[in-house]
């Protein structure tokens, strides 16, 4: 996919100062093709978008344990010594840490690996960034909240209820407490990557439809904020080049339930023949046994307060995602053509 990105570099006030930063001090980076960016976990659904967006403006090295994409070299964040070796050899100006176990069920069952991957690798990379005196981007999650409130801003205190949420929050805390040069971006319900990389909700619905189902059972008691990978990657770059270090909620505009997303997918496809049934989480308790917050709705308060919010409405992004990254797959599968 070809992505064209246009940015206007503007001066914005710094609102999230810590550890000696002065009011209105500008901490933005100038990104050029000479800027060297080391990216972990680039083989996943977010990595596909981050590579497309960032490689257009900088020199990137993308690593992952999944090396099927031609732009990725092997790198396991659990191997701390090898990560340090690769980073030292590449000599980056910025580290973007995407690598993580994001399956809640896997994390509940494989707790040790979840913390080794999501927490300990983050600590190692943060230490390397600090030693090299370069910024680090860490991707956190709405899953660090307990869901007892409907909406959460950056000022609300996290209280994870799952192993996944705790492992990601522990990584976030280490970055916040040990680095000065950091960007922590909290994402919501991620959508992106297409059939090859998307392992989340949109892909599960799309694959059922492509396989010929005429009836979808979808929970309506889980609420959140969809997050399109391409908008997320662009907004990351926009903050780095225009804003300041800090912690930001970064999600698409608007919130919804899982049921709402499924209904919108069916609408986009023009599939009036498909019935979408509301069910509760109890319906899927055996398959999705990991605890999940009732609400993961994030408010991008700090991005909006500082004029740094460029994410689009989630329905617009969902439509673009399906049209651009699922159309050819669905037609190749011989299931249907889009309306």
The residue-averaged pLDDT of 138-150 equals: 97
- As separate numbers, helices (DSSP H) first and strands (DSSP E) second, the chain gives 13, 15
Please provide the average confidence, as pLDDT, over all residues in the chain: 91
Residue of 69 and 16 predicted with greater confidence:
69
Q: Is the CA virtual torsion 51, 54, 59, 63 positive or negative?
A: negative
Q: Is the pLDDT of residue 157 over 80?
A: yes
The residue-averaged pLDDT of 252-273 equals: 97
Q: Is the pLDDT of residue 12 over 70?
A: no
Q: What are the tens digits of pLDDT across the range 298-310?
A: 999 999 999 999 9
Would you put residue 239 in left (φ > 0), alpha (ψ -120 to 50) or beta?
A: alpha
**Cα 328 to chain centroid, rounded:** 24
Spatial separation of the C-alpha atoms in residues 180 and 175, rounded to whole Å: 9
Q: Is the pLDDT of residue 186 over 90?
A: yes
Asked if residues 143 and 187 have their Cβ atoms less than 8 Å apart, the reply is no
Tell me the pTM. Answer: 0.91
| Confidence band, pLDDT 50/70/90 cuts, at residue 92 | very high
Q: Is the pLDDT of residue 192 over 60?
A: yes
Which stretch of 33-37, 201-205, 299-303, 323-327 has the lowest confidence by average pLDDT? 323-327
Spatial separation of the C-alpha atoms in residues 196 and 5, rounded to whole Å: 24
Spatial separation of the C-alpha atoms in residues 216 and 260, rounded to whole Å: 12
Spatial separation of the C-alpha atoms in residues 224 and 256, rounded to whole Å: 6
Q: Is the pLDDT of residue 7 over 60?
A: no
Spatial separation of the C-alpha atoms in residues 327 and 332, rounded to whole Å: 9
Spatial separation of the C-alpha atoms in residues 36 and 95, rounded to whole Å: 9
| Confidence band, pLDDT 50/70/90 cuts, at residue 10 | very low
Q: So what's the pLDDT on residue 334? A: 59
Q: So what's the pLDDT on residue 338? A: 52
Q: Is the pLDDT of residue 21 over 90?
A: no
Q: Is the CA virtual torsion 202, 292, 168, 300 positive or negative?
A: positive
The residue-averaged pLDDT of 121-138 equals: 98
| Confidence band, pLDDT 50/70/90 cuts, at residue 20 | very low
| Confidence band, pLDDT 50/70/90 cuts, at residue 330 | confident
Q: So what's the pLDDT on residue 328? A: 77
Percent of residues, the chain, with pLDDT higher than 70: 90
| Confidence band, pLDDT 50/70/90 cuts, at residue 293 | very high
Q: Which fold has domain 36-195+225-255+293-312?
A: Rossmann fold (3.40.50)
Q: Is the pLDDT of residue 232 over 70?
A: yes
| Confidence band, pLDDT 50/70/90 cuts, at residue 59 | very high
The residue-averaged pLDDT of 327-335 equals: 70
DSSP state of 311: P
Alpha helices in the chain (DSSP H): 45-54, 80-90, 104-109, 111-115, 121-132, 163-178, 194-197, 201-210, 229-242, 258-269, 301-305, 314-325, 327-332
User: Residue 42, Cβ neighbours under 10 Å: how many?
Assistant: 29
Domain ranges of the chain: 36-195+225-255+293-312
Q: So what's the pLDDT on residue 17? A: 37
| Confidence band, pLDDT 50/70/90 cuts, at residue 237 | very high
């Amino acid at each position: 996919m070809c992505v064209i990105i246009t940015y206007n570099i503007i001066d914005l006030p710094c609102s999230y100062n810590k550890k000696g930063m002065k009011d209105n001090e500008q901490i933005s980076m100038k990104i050029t093709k000479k800027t060297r960016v080391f990216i972990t976990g680039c083989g996943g659904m977010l990595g596909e978008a981050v590579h497309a967006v960032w490689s257009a403006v900088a020199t990137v090295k993308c690593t992952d344990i999944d090396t099927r994409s031609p732009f990725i070299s092997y790198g396991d964040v659990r191997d701390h010594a090898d990560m340090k070796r690769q980073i030292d050899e590449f000599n980056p100006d910025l580290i973007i840490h995407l690598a993580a176990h994001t399956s809640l069920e896997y994390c509940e069952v494989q707790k040790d690996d979840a913390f080794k991957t999501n927490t300990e690798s983050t600590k190692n990379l943060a230490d390397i960034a600090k030693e090299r005196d370069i910024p680090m981007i860490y991707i956190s999650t709405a899953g660090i909240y307990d869901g007892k409130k409907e909406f959460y801003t950056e000022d609300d205190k996290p209280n994870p209820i799952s192993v996944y949420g705790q492992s990601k929050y522990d990584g976030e805390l280490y970055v916040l407490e040990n680095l000065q040069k950091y960007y922590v971006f909290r994402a919501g319900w991620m959508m992106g990557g297409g059939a090859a990389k998307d392992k989340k909700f949109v892909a599960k619905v799309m694959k059922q439809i492509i396989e010929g189902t005429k009836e979808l059972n979808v929970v309506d008691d889980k609420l959140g904020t969809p997050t399109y990978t391409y908008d997320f990657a662009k907004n990351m770059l926009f903050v780095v080049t225009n804003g300041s270090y800090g912690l930001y909620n970064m999600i698409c505009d608007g919130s919804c339930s899982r049921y709402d997303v499924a209904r919108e997918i069916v609408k986009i496809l023009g599939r009036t023949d498909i019935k979408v049934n509301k069910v509760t989480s109890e319906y899927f308790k055996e398959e999705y046994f990991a605890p999940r917050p009732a609400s993961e709705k994030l408010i991008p308060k700090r991005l909006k307060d500082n004029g740094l919010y460029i994410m689009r409405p989630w329905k617009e992004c969902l439509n673009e995602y399906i049209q651009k990254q699922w159309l050819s797959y669905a037609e190749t599968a011989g299931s249907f053509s889009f309306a």
